Amino acid sequence: MHTEALRAMQRMQAGHWWWRGMRHVYRAALRRYSRDEQAQRVLDVGCGFGANLPLLAQEAARGGLLVGVDVEHDALHSIERRAGLALVQARADALPFRAGSFDTVALLAVIEHVPDDQRVLSEAWRIARPGARQLLLTSAFMLLWSHHDVANGHLRRYRVEQVEALQAAAGWRVKRAHYLNAAIFPLVLLVRRLQGGGENPEARYDMGPNTWPFNRLLEGLLWLEARLPLRLPFGVDIFCAAVREQKGQ
């Protein structure tokens, strides 16, 4: 990802509606697919500046371990160190962990950035223990491709069925996969079509409005989507929850 985009992301993560709203989605998914026992080891692949680490830390049992992995040294260096947290600089497609090491694996806004998305999902499966959960977030519909994707370092956007096929090929069993941010899809589509298809060489990182009324409204829409069982056929993002099955299942 471009350095400017990384810095802009760091400034926005605490208060911007998208990150605040997505944490509602992650929290609901963690409750829905909770294990009988708390996870001893939780891995956040592509943790960036650590925006989701506090939420994922709640999943780790007392005395457990939360590990954040990212390829960007500056992002890892900015994260406050604390007990029970380990930070590792590594690539998502070459994780430096033994097979079956983790109970929960998060891949939140990762696979759209990497050349070999299938290999990343296979690596996540390798280091997950049987019965482990995986939470994945990615960008939806190449129809929405724009300078926003270029500035973010995206290589592609997906449809739900593509994500499901990638997960299955890597060995994961999908529990739920659906589009998110459906309410703003028409507006995002219109704006990005007007902006062009991503050819702008001066593309800048932009996550949309961040003023008080818009922030509260859009965060509230994601809060609502996280709690409703609806599976709409469109959205700006895709969320997927999957499991690595136990032997014999």
Q: Which one has a higher pLDDT value, 40 or 174?
A: 174
What pLDDT is recorded for position 36? 56
| Tokens at 68, concatenated | 């954040």
Could you give all domains of the chain from N- to C-terminal order, each with its CATH number?
3-243 (3.40.50.150)
14 band by pLDDT with thresholds 50, 70 and 90: low
pLDDT tens per residue across span 156-195: 999 999 999 999 999 999 999 999 888 889 888 988 888 7
Measure the CA dihedral 182/187/193/199, to 10°. -80
Among 31-35, 178-182, 203-207, the range scoring the smallest mean pLDDT is: 203-207
> Is residue 27 predicted with pLDDT exceeding 60?
yes
Q: For 99-127, what is the mean pLDDT?
A: 97
Among 24-28, 142-146, 208-212, 234-238, the range scoring the smallest mean pLDDT is: 208-212
Strand partners, 128: 102
Q: Is the CB of residue 244 less than 8 Å from the CB of residue 125?
A: yes
> Is residue 2 predicted with pLDDT exceeding 60?
no
| Tokens at 128, concatenated | 């997950």
What pLDDT is recorded for position 37? 64
Rounded CA separation 244/249 (Å): 10
Q: What is the pTM of this model?
A: 0.85
pLDDT tens per residue across span 214-248: 788 888 888 888 888 777 899 999 999 999 987 54
